[in-house]
Chain A
Amino acid sequence: MHTLAKLSTLLRHARDGCFAIALWDDAATRERVMKTLSNMLSPIATLTWTCSALDPHPIDYLSQLSEAQRTERAVIFFLGLEDAPADAFKALDYQRELLAQQPHGLVFWLTPEAAHQLARRAPHFWSQHSGIFDFATTT
């Protein structure tokens, strides 16, 4: 609960475009955490995007948000990056300033192994997160 409280506090008060890493290893637990976090953040809206082979880049999703979605503060959960192609992590590294300009709080849900890969492949991006929040069920 303490980890959830910290993440909720960060997302509520940090500036636009702040991003956090949330570690997971069990899909059901992740869903429960996301639902609880959405309730805690209310009335701040939460949006969810899932990486796919056809749509692997978070920045593309962010650039396609409607004007209304961009105007109203929200938190966006990014899922499925474990399955993203190798260049998606590198793109995050290169686009970190574009991400910082986004109006919303961003939470990247990653398995511990994917977090490890991201830290090494996108060190500039990695160095600017506002915290790692561990919701993995096993150490």
Chain B
Amino acid sequence: MEIGPARTLADAIRIFDPRRPLEGETLRAFYAERGGDTRKRMRIHIEVTSGEPSSMLFTGHGGSGKSTELNKLIEELDKEYLVVKVRTSDIVARADLTYVDVILITAMALFRAASNEQLIQRAPAQIAEEVWRQVKQVIEHVIFGHQPTHPTTSSEASLNLSIPKTIFGLTLEFEARFKNEVDTRAKIRERLRDNLSEVINKANRLIEEIQRRHRLPVLLLVEDTDKPDPGRAKEIFFDHPQSLTALKALTIYTFPVALRYNSQFIELDRYFKIFRMPNLALVHKDGTINRRSWRVLGEVIHRRLDPALIAPKARQTIIRASGGIMGLLIALVQSAATNAHARGAQRIEHSDAMAALADLRKDFVAALRSEDYPILAARYKDKRLSNDDALQPLLQMRALLEYENDDTWCDVHPAILPLLEERVAGFKINESA
């Protein structure tokens, strides 16, 4: 099926999916340049390292479009690097991720990618057999804890070509068992507590071989390391940065934005190059319109939706209601399209957009506590961010939005302003906003 802008409201409901980042065909069909320079700076950093190891942290608020930007970066680098994409939540299904898990899952993903038959077939030269043997041994003996088998006989030696295939199978077995078998996971974690360096060493040998034989630097993209709760994320990043940076490849970890405000964050500078993807600001701090952001969000809608399906005033309402948050923009269009389609209309009218905004407001009513409203009112007035604990949940639920145009400042989500007028004595919306 050809990917293109929605031609019907039913298509729009399907295409405007707030959960899915763009990738592959949807990335090529719908991606709109944000105009910011985060991805460009990451690319420049990767290029100037010339394949030398470097670890990066990539962070940004929920719904800002981080995963899509990473997918765009990977698409740009795919021909020049062996990109190994790892999603920790695919393997560790519970929120008890440890730093050992992160390194182990990344190493196993590397082993799997390197042993992929298609990569091997098109490689200009093959990885040394001894390296494959060492990788197989560390998986079988260190990770799975199997006892060593009898020495290879001459007839078995002739099966050496199947070692990569065996490794590929072992990585699949690891993923299934580590994810689903509680006992297996516990035992592997226990074994690796004292043996993680062996896994890292073998992974590094393989990385060197890939660079030498395949002439491809390795880029490891580790996602979902921004998802664990703050306590667990602190243990992963603040307590074990040396281990996370021990793999001799370009490595990008996603980093929880809430920990940016932690006093230990600045110490990570020694280990990681840090990249932040800011939200798009629809206004400047002084309240004047930021036309560039409006154009970007308009383009995002335009690429996915036939202009005939949305009234211009509805589009403006939706962009304003998004607060510059990409994920919210997508969700609002889906909601407005659902409203229009449910009443039998052929296009999204202003009333549908206003109904979507009203639903978004209900979303915030469901999440906010009574003590949150005065805090939001105060931040609306002074636009000042700090590392106060009270602000973190508000930033996470996007009731408070952080921007980095001009300087670093914050604002209340526009959908909440009428709620502040109702609930905070003396609060007035600034009419120029």
Q: Which A residues are closer than 8 A to B by beta carbons?
A: 2, 5-6, 8-10, 13-15, 17-18, 21, 23, 59, 87, 90-91, 93-98, 100, 112, 115-116, 119-120, 123-124, 126-132, 134
Q: Which of B51-59, B273-281, B392-400, B423-431 contacts A (4 or more CB under 8 A)?
A: B392-400
A120 to B16, CA, bound (A): 25
Complex Cα distance A62/B294, Å? 40
- Interface window among B87-95, B116-124, B300-308: B87-95
Tell whether, in the assembled complex, residue B393 and residue A13 are in contact, meaning their CB atoms are under 8 Å apart. no
Instruction: Report how far A96 CA is from B93 CA in the complex, Å.
Output: 10
Chain A residue at minimum C-beta to C-beta distance from B62:
A127
What are 7 A-B contacts defined by CB distance under 8 Å? A6-B338, A13-B14, A14-B334, A59-B93, A95-B93, A119-B366, A120-B367
* Distance between Cα atoms of A113 and B335 in the complex (Å): 23
Task: Please tell me if the beta carbons of B63 and A14 are within 8 angstroms of each other in the complex.
Answer: no
B18 to chain A: which residues have CB within 8 Å? 127-130
Given A5-B342, A6-B342, A13-B13 contact (CB < 8 Å)? yes
| Contact status of A15 and B14, CB under 8 A, knowing A91-B95, A94-B95, A124-B62 | yes
Partner of A116, one of B10, B224, B227, B367: B367
Known: A13-B10, A120-B367. A18 touches B397 (CB 8 A): no
Q: Whole-angstrom distance between the alpha carbons of A17 and B20 in the complex? A: 10
Q: Is B241 close to A, CB under 8 A?
A: no
Query: CA of A5 to CA of B338 in the docked complex: distance in angstroms?
Result: 9
Are A95 and B363 closer than 8 Å at their CB atoms?
no
Bound state CA distance, A6 and B337, in angstroms? 10
User: In the complex, which of the residues B18, B19, B63 has the most CB atoms of chain A within 10 Å of its own CB atom?
Assistant: B19
- How far is the CB of B29 from the nearest CB of chain A, in Å? 15
A97-B87, A126-B397 given; 10 more Cβ-contact pairs under 8 Å: A6-B338, A6-B342, A9-B341, A10-B13, A87-B95, A94-B95, A119-B366, A119-B397, A126-B367, A131-B359
Q: Is the CB of A116 within 8 A of B366?
A: yes
Give the residue name and chain of the B residue nearest to A96 (CB): B19
A9–B327 CA distance with the chains assembled, in angstroms: 21
* List of 9 A-B pairs having minimum Cβ-Cβ separation, nearest first: A119-B367, A94-B95, A13-B13, A123-B396, A9-B342, A128-B19, A100-B19, A5-B342, A13-B10
Q: Which residues from A are CB-within-8-Å of B13?
A: 9-10, 13-14
Number of A-B contacts (CB under 8 A): 108
B63 & A127 in contact (Cβ 8 Å cutoff): yes
Q: How far is the CA of A17 from the CA of B335 in the complex (A)?
A: 16
A131 neighbours in B (Cβ, 8 Å): 335, 338, 359
* B310 sits at the interface (CB 8 A): no
Q: How far is the CA of A17 from the CA of B17 in the complex (A)?
A: 10
> Contact between A100 and B20 (Cβ–Cβ < 8 Å)?
yes
Q: Which residues of A contact B369 (CB under 8 A)?
A: 116
Contacting residues, chain A, for B414 (C-beta < 8 A): none
Q: Which of B53-99 contact A (CB under 8 A)?
A: 62-63, 87, 89-90, 93-95, 97
B229 within 8 A of A: yes
The closest CB in chain B to the CB of A89 belongs to B95
**Cα of A123 to Cα of B18 in the assembled complex, Å:** 14
A2 and B342 contact, CB distance less than 8 A: yes
Least CB distance, B383 to chain A, in whole angstroms = 22
Asked if B5 lies at the interface with its beta carbon under 8 angstroms from chain A, I say no
Given contacts A18-B17, A128-B327, contact A115 B338 (CB under 8 A): no
**The residue from A15, A94, A116, A132 contacting B228, defined by CB atoms under 8 A apart:** A94
Give the CA-CA distance A6 to B345 in the complex, in Å: 13
- B window 16-59: CB within 8 A of A: 17-20
Bound CA span A129–B369, Å? 20
- Bound form: Cα–Cα A112–B365 in Å: 10
A115 cross-chain contacts in B, Cβ below 8 A: 366-367
**What are the residues of chain A within 8 A of B342 when measuring CB–CB?**
2, 5-6, 8-9
For B331, what are the chain A residues with a Cβ–Cβ distance below 8 Å?
A: 128, 130
